[in-house]
Structure 1
């Protein structure tokens, strides 16, 4: 099995952190971001190499600046 990239792990942890702060479930976030419901879980578990387009969708759905999401 391929080792997960540190940046994907950090990004997934950050998405989970902000999502929980906002009181959203993974399914709610997926709906707002217009992505598949399982996709958010895969991002949070660092199982997907997310595209810039989807980073923007998730940032908008979380009502957070992309740079804040990438911290």
Structure 2
């Protein structure tokens, strides 16, 4: 197992089947550059990409992996928490932006009474919550797509 090279193994099977890197990348829903990095063993692919490659090459996924490999015991560090951190950062930045809008509104309208300022901030933060509600699902999908792209 010490001499096993996933990328080289993947390349050999792909070449035997007469499939181009571009076709593999297209079927795996990744860029050709990323696929090339996988074959050069510059990145460790996520299980989903191993499964996609195996399906397209019409071989069992275990044939692409080292003998005895168990993906269930593989630890992918930070991947889930990075998505949550990005969503939390988005929420914080959005809340700050709407708070700044409320401050700008109060300054521009020359509102000096504290209760009026509080009402303006609450109103703008309500808009922030509504904005988050309507934009977050597409954002979550974009973040997940981006994380899949960078993590292999």
Normalising by structure 2, report the TM-score.
0.39
Per the TM alignment, residue 25 of structure 1 is displaced from its structure 2 partner at its CA by 1.0
- 2:16 is aligned to 21
Q: Count how many residue pairs are aligned between Structure 1 and Structure 2.
A: 65
Among 20, 30, 35, which residue is 1:40 paired with?
Answer: 35
Are residue 12 (structure 1) and residue 7 (structure 2) matched?
yes
Q: Determine which structure has more spread, i.e. the larger CA radius of gyration.
A: 2
Tell me which stretches of 4 or more aligned residues in structure 1 moved more than 4 Å: none
Per the TM alignment, residue 17 of structure 1 is displaced from its structure 2 partner at its CA by 0.2
Q: Please, which runs of 5 or more residues in structure 2 have no aligned partner?
A: 67-152
Contact 1:33 1:60 in 2 (8 A): no
Distance 2:64 2:17 in 1: 13
- 1:56 is aligned to 51
Give the number of the structure with larger relative contact order, counting CA–CA contacts within 8 Å between residues 6 or more apart.
1
Q: CA RMSD in A?
A: 1.8
Normalising by structure 1, report the TM-score.
0.79
Q: Deviations over 1:7-59 (max 9, x none)?
A: 7x700001000000010110011112222111111001111121111111111
